[in-house]
Amino acid sequence: MRISELSEQSGVSIPTIKFYLREGLLAPGVLVTKTQSAYDETHLRRLRLVRALRDVAGLPIASIADVMAAVDSEAVSLLDLLGVTQVAVSGVSGDTSARGLRLAEEFIAELGWRVATESPLMRSLGRLLEELADRGIPITVAALGPWASAAHSVAAVEVAGITADMPRDQAAEIVAMGTPLFGELLSQLRLAAQESESRRRFGQ
Amino acid sequence: MRISELSEQSGVSIPTIKFYLREGLLAPGVLVTKTQSAYDETHLRRLRLVRALRDVAGLPIASIADVMAAVDSEAVSLLDLLGVTQVAVSGVSGDTSARGLRLAEEFIAELGWRVATESPLMRSLGRLLEELADRGIPITVAALGPWASAAHSVAAVEVAGITADMPRDQAAEIVAMGTPLFGELLSQLRLAAQESESRRRFGQ
């Protein structure tokens, strides 16, 4: 397809597509004439991923380029690509104390989940668990089980949408789109459910 | 108790307690001598609520004062007090289109939840549902049920910690503390569960 069709089908303007081509976020099309290139489904998929990273997750170009590099590198496994994308779009970062990290490791182990100790997720979770512990909340499955079960039930549905044989940029797009959007959905629905439960218990 | 004991038990410094007294966030103690007042459990509870609103939810003094006014007003029902506190600490605000509001109302009705149409929660949810609909996601319980079920299961546990006969400031404190902290916990655990599920499915 021509660049105008690519623009129409992707919803990305021609100047923006040209900008992505210059930045290397999009591979060049096949030259058909001296001034015209042909684009295909791979370009369309790639543009969808760029848009998810930019519009939904709100990432700057440099972070988008990092995810693109992971998509294109054969040295990066699908598991690691999903992890890189998830960490980029969820913005988890920073450090935690040794105590926080230990709390996170022990809690994740008690849940029977598999999360790499060196993942930024563990540091971020460690900071939060330390704050909860400081407020007197026991960091155990007995105390925090309802939140873990709820989190696991949606995560299982979300990850089930990804398969090992889909194109890597499509897999990354599911994470880039789903992590922020369905995270926000879960958070908003929790507030609505709190209101609904309050009304059921305390309403006239 | 003396102001020094109140400070010790609440973890709030004496200058800060004096500031809250001047701002009217804390009722004066009973004058024991010309220069000394006695404080009791009600002051301690009130300070816990102020701290939850300030430290956990990060609210500015003006918003804290709004919640305090709701706590103190007999014209505000417990249900409305919980709602005011929840909206203040979760920061939901803004407007939505008529289409967004209709999507939210229909979805909440399909779930069988009870949320007031005029609540800011509905506008905020409406904006999000409109974005999901624009991305081709059906706004139905069939499609979004897993997120609604997960949200409801944690909300029911959270609201169950509140009873009609507890002091109003204690009820508000549970919302002020729990809404941000357990919201963050749910969000972090979802990311960890996604990583764990990905590892189970795509790891070596």
pLDDT 10s digits, A158-188: 999 999 999 999 999 999 999 999 999 999 9
Distance from CA of B49 to the nearest CA of A (A): 13
**Stretch A12-40: mean pLDDT:** 93
Q: Considering the domain boundaries, does residue A44 fall inside one? A: no
Structure tokens given for B52: 């939850």
Minimum CA–CA partner of A196 in chain B: B114
In a domain, B83, yes or no: yes
In terms of Cβ atoms closer than 10 Å to its own Cβ (0-12, 13-18, 19+), residue B149 is middle
Q: Suggest the residue from B84, B107, B186 to mutate for an interface test with chain A (most A CBs closer than 10 A).
A: B186
pLDDT category at A35 given cuts 50, 70, 90 is confident
Predicted confidence (pLDDT) at residue B204 exceeds the cutoff of 80: no
Give the pLDDT confidence score for residue B104 in this predicted structure.
Answer: 97
Report the pLDDT value the prediction gives residue A93, as an integer from 0 to 100. 84
DSSP state letter for A32: E
Q: ∠ CA B60-B87-B93 to the nearest 5 degrees? A: 85
Find, in chain B, the residue whose alpha carbon is nearest to that of A113. B196
The answer to whether residue B28 sits within a structural domain is: no
Look-up of token digits 């006014």: B69
- B117: contact with A, CB 8 A cutoff: no
Q: Is the confidence at residue A8, as pLDDT, over 80? A: yes
Considering its fold, how many domains does chain A have in total? 1
Q: Is the Cβ pair B190, A186 closer than 8 Å?
A: yes
Q: Is residue A118 part of a domain?
A: yes
Count Cα neighbours of B203 within 13 Å in the Cβ-side half-sphere: 11
Q: Which residues 156-175 of chain B have a CB within 8 Å of chain A? A: 156-159, 162, 164
Whether residue A202 and residue B77 make contact (CB cut-off 8 A), yes or no, is yes
- A128 interface with B at CB cutoff 8 Å: yes
Q: Which residue of A has its CA nearest to B107?
A: A189
B90 found inside a domain: yes
Please tell me which residue of chain A has the smallest CA distance to B162. A198
The closest CB to that of A128, out of B144, B150, B185, belongs to: B185
**Nearest-CB residue to A147 (from B108, B189, B195):** B189
Check if the beta carbon of residue A89 is closer than 8 Å to that of residue A59.
yes
Of B92, B196, B199, the CB nearest to A191: B92
State how far residue B38 is from chain A, nearest Cα, in angstroms. 27
Residue A204 has pLDDT above 80, yes or no: no
B195 closest CB neighbour out of A119, A194, A202:
A119
Residue B35 has pLDDT above 90, yes or no: no
pLDDT digits (tens, 9 = 90+) for B92-150: 888 889 999 999 999 999 999 999 999 999 999 999 999 999 999 999 999 999 999 99
The answer as to whether A51 is a domain residue is no
Residue B195 forms contact with A (CB below 8 Å): yes
- Residue A23 in domain: no
- CB distance from A142 to chain B under 8 Å? no
End-to-end Cα spacing for chain A: 62
pLDDT in tens, A106-163: 999 999 999 999 999 999 999 999 999 999 999 999 999 999 999 999 999 999 999 9
Q: Which residue of A has its CA nearest to B156?
A: A197
What is the pLDDT at residue B181? 97
In sequence order, which ranges of chain B are alpha helices (DSSP H)?
A: 3-10, 14-23, 41-51, 61-72, 78-90, 98-111, 120-134, 141-160, 168-202
Longest distance between any two alpha carbons in chain B, whole Å: 75
Residues of A in contact with B176 (CB under 8 A): none
pLDDT digits (tens, 9 = 90+) for A82-113: 999 999 999 888 888 999 999 999 999 999 99
Q: Flag whether A161 is in a domain.
A: yes
Provide the domain limits for residue A98: 75-202
With CA atoms as reference, the chain B residue closest to A51 would be: B135
Q: Which candidate from B78, B179, B192 shows the least CB-CB separation from A121?
A: B192
ipTM: 0.95
